[in-house]
Amino acid sequence: MSSIFTALVALLALYTSIASAVQNIKVQGADFVNTVTNDRLQIIGVAYQPGGSAGFNPSSGIDPLSNGTNCLRDAALMQQLGVNTIRVYNLDPSLNHDMCVSIFNAVGIYMLLDVSSPLPGQSLNSGDPGSSYNSQYLTQIFGIVEAFKDYPNTLGFFAGNEVINDDANAATVPPYLRAVTRDLKNYIAKHSNRTIPVGYSAADVSDVLVDTWQYLQCAINGSTSDMSRSDFFGINSYSWCGNATFDSSGYNVLISEFMNTTIPVFFSEYGCNLVLPRVFTEVPVLYGPLMTPVLSGGLVYEYSQEVSDYGLVVLYDNGTAQIRQDYDNLQAQYNKLNISLLEASNSTATALNPPTCSSSLITTSSGFNNSFGIPPVPSGGQELIDNGIGNPNNGKLVTVTQDTVSQQVYFSSGGLIQNLAIKPLPNDESNVPNGQDTSGAATTSSTATAAKPKATKKGAGSRKGVGILGLMGAIVFPLLICI
């Protein structure tokens, strides 16, 4: 009897993980810093929007972090890949995200979250920012804050994504971006028990990129408490293609332009796909001595295969998945990184103070807005900031009740990956590349047939393209224990 009891306890321990919290991250000067260890956090991440726009359907209760079963599968693959951060673009603040977030937390993965959505009235209109900056919009973005502020692995919020992308909207949008940043930070200060960074993700458009960064990173009147100042700056960069170099990719120019940053700068998207499969030779450079003094890592675009052909993993309708050669190549590059060097703190970078906002900072675009008069909070907005939105949906960590992935996941050449599972990390650690070779760990079955990926077009209403492996359902054998 005692041996059966011991076996039951062991079985329960295997499939039940109490989610210990990762350490919070703060912005200190030009670095992301662990609030407990004071180690630097270099973002080693992927963009995560499975299904593209079809993966965001609030009327059906669907967004990327609403299905715990799928998140378990994806977290297991990401943990083996070696990422420590995901970026999620479109979220419904009314849905329950507890299980997904708890799973990513358990494996040491942080989240960078966009607050806007593609639904009407839930984003800043780059063509007419004044008309879209209203209390309805603020209710949406404050709802995202409420839904994710209590999760310890929420790294930060993007106040906007590529809202400034040409000379025309560079003339009108910048003050509104600072206004949105101010409102988000004031809401967080009023309603969250910790400071959560707020930043911006910029299009890599040479005419406006540097001016956008300068406009958002400076402090009005030189005040370090200026709430309209961005805490970090992301760049969506696709200039390194195939076996490019530091110089041929233009990374050398980028580093020279941002070398005086006083906030963390990183690639909020990267991974050119003009040469396939992608070989990710930019990874050792991005995390090497030429770039780490200036940049804080980056997020590969993107996790799931969509019509745009950037995916690391093909996801099928019934939950099965297959990794691609891109995943294998990226994992091999991550495994070359020296994590100890990446985590080393830099007292110079963390002690930097922002420049005082001035029109003299705006130098590359003649039409860029160089006025730092920030729009006032719109009608009804201050009441939301002071009192909070009505009936907020506050997320919380929950117990992760299963470690083993129930869906079938396949190696890039067709073999079934056996015993795929998450491995909850001890001591509140964040995930790092650890030399794993997912493809090498896969077992090729004599009956397995290589999948033929046919991902749904990005933005389509459903995912209909299913290869032969996607037709195979997971087989679950119930365990009966009789005492």
The token pair at 186 is: 């004031």
What is the Cα–Cα distance from 341 to 212, expressed in whole angstroms? Answer: 30
**Which residue is catalytic, options 146, 269, 282, 306?**
269
Residue 269 falls in the annotated catalytic set: yes
- Give the HSE-up count for residue 196: Cα atoms under 13 Å, Cβ half-sphere: 30
What is the Cα–Cα distance from 171 to 33, expressed in whole angstroms? Answer: 34
Cβ neighbours for 446, distance < 8 A, ≥ 6 positions apart: none
Residue 162 falls in the annotated catalytic set: yes
The token pair at 41 is: 């956090």
What is the Cα–Cα distance from 364 to 174, expressed in whole angstroms? Answer: 15
Q: Which three-class secondary structure state does DSSP give residue 481?
A: coil
Token pair 């990422």: residue: 83
What is the Cα–Cα distance from 183 to 199, expressed in whole angstroms? Answer: 12
What is the Cα–Cα distance from 252 to 130, expressed in whole angstroms? Answer: 37
For residue 387, give the DSSP letter.
H
Q: Which three-class secondary structure state does DSSP give residue 219?
A: strand
Burial 243-269 (b: 16+ CB within 10 A, else e): ebebeebbbeebbebbeebbbbbbbbb
Token pair 């951060």: residue: 85
User: Considering Cα of 464, then 316, then 474, then 103, what sign does the dihedral take?
Assistant: negative
Whole-angstrom Cα Rg for the chain:
22
How many CB atoms sit inside 10 A of residue 363's CB? 12
Q: Nearest to residue 469, comparing CAs of 275, 337, 317?
A: 317
Q: Nearest to residue 262, comparing CAs of 356, 177, 341, 185?
A: 356
For residue 62, give the DSSP letter.
B
The token pair at 358 is: 């001035």
Contacts within 8 Å (CB) and 24+ apart, 21-24: 21/105, 21/152, 21/153, 21/397, 21/428, 22/105, 22/108, 22/110, 22/152, 22/153, 22/428, 22/429, 22/430, 23/152, 23/428, 23/430, 24/152, 24/194
Please count the helices (runs of H) and the strands (runs of E) in the chain.
Answer: 15, 14
**Measured in Å, how far apart are the chain's first and last C-alpha atoms?**
8
Which runs of consecutive H residues, i.e. helices, occur in 66-173?
Answer: 68-81, 98-106, 129-132, 135-148, 167-170
Cβ neighbours for 438, distance < 8 A, ≥ 6 positions apart: 77, 80, 81, 323, 327, 328, 331, 411, 417
As annotated, the active-site residues are 162, 269
